Chains A and B, each alone.
Chain A
Amino acid sequence: MIKKTLLQVLLIALPFAISAQKHITKNGYIEFYGKTPLEEIKAGNNQVASILDVSTGEIVFQVLMKSFHFERALMEEHFNENYVESEKFPKSVFKGRITNLSDIDFAKPGVYTAQVEGDLTLHNISKKISQTGTIEIIKDGIVAKSNFKIKPEDYDIQIPSVVRDKIAKEMDVTVNMKYNPMTQ
């Protein structure tokens, strides 16, 4: 009898326990920055959607290229029309997993180093990338941060030779996410 009740409680509670493993943000921030003596390029996107599953370590990021904001309107127009071709390829997606999941105690507040590897799709080109970041467990959620470099040429983003020297060969990418438990 007790066993049966226990089983019932478990069956009812299980879906909630599973859903609590997933954390989500729709207001994540990704910035890229490149500087040469001739030109400084900086753009931020505060509408990054990301889901982190703490039980499997799976992590997914999605951004709309059009949501990258440049201070100068013409630079933003060139970025969308000539470089990343936002109309043809509106989204950039990263799908991967934390490979050192056992080093992170999601129940204990603190800052942990996370190794992440997966596929980054940008401008319709997918590349395997492997990066390091931090996972911080705080009272009301999880904060994930990372800093890495990408080369536009790796994603077949063509930069005309006239301006090639003005644009940095590598872009610094900054990732800053604040996840909340997924409620549904």
Chain B
Amino acid sequence: MKKQKLFFFLGAIVIVGLSVGTYGIYMYFKTHDDLSKVRPDFVMTARAILSEFEMDEAAASVRYISKVIEITGPVESVEIGSDSTMNVILKDPGYTSGVICSFQGRNIGEMDVKKGSIATIRGECSGILFDVLLNNCVLIGN
């Protein structure tokens, strides 16, 4: 009877140890979430988020940085990087700044977003330099 208890106890430790270890390894190698499967925290236009950052950068930073944001706006250009990345720039006509959306590994083709069309892009907000920057982007609609 005592032996049985000991086995049960040891078995439980092994199982817990293995699951913690597996979870740890899983977390360690985990890549970024596919944002097309993540519900956005905010849905807004390129113009709206830009004006919030321009009006009060500190408040907008607290509100938006690291959040998943879905932005809709006119495609000004698509910039292919020297590495495997690309940026899609959403900017309203007549504005000097807009939203720069960074795509990793060019998971959309250059043909998918056309200059002058209206695109909806989801990404994580990194803040503002000249433009509001989104990282880890996916194309939602075009």
Give the interface SS of chain B, mostly helix, strand, loop or mixed.
Answer: mixed
Q: Do residues B104 and A27 form an inter-chain contact, with CB atoms below 8 A?
A: no
Name the one of B27, B96, B102, B129 contacting A69, with C-beta atoms under 8 angstroms: B102
What distance in Å separates the Cβ of B98 from its nearest Cβ neighbour in chain A? 10
Are B127 and A66 in contact (CB-based, < 8 A)? Answer: yes
**B contact residues around A184 at 8 Å (CB):** 96
CB-CB contacts of A68-105 with B at 8 A, as 1s and 0s? 01011110100000000001001100000000000000
Task: Name the residue on B nearest A63 (C-beta).
Answer: B129
For residue B78, give the distance in angstroms from its CB to the closest CB of chain A: 10
B31 contacts chain A at the CB level, 8 A cutoff: yes
CB–CB B61/A27 < 8 A: no
B4, CB-defined interface residue at 8 Å: no
Label chain A's interface by main secondary structure.
strand
The answer, yes or no, to whether A49 is at the interface (CB within 8 Å) is yes
A interface, size bucket: 20 to 34
In whole angstroms, what is the CA distance A46 to B104 when docked?
9
Q: Residues 29-50 of chain B: 1 if any A CB is under 8 Å from the residue's CB, otherwise 0?
A: 1111100000000000000000
Binding site for B on A (CB under 8 A): 26-27, 29, 31, 44, 46-47, 49, 62-67, 69, 71-74, 76, 87, 90-91, 176, 178, 184
Q: Which residues of B contact A (CB under 8 A)?
A: 27-33, 61, 65-66, 79, 81-83, 85-87, 89, 96, 100, 102, 104, 124-131, 133, 135-136
A-B contacts, 23 listed (Cβ < 8 Å)? A26-B89, A26-B130, A27-B87, A29-B81, A29-B83, A46-B85, A47-B126, A47-B133, A47-B135, A64-B128, A66-B65, A66-B124, A66-B126, A66-B133, A67-B126, A67-B133, A69-B104, A72-B29, A74-B27, A74-B28, A91-B127, A178-B82, A184-B96
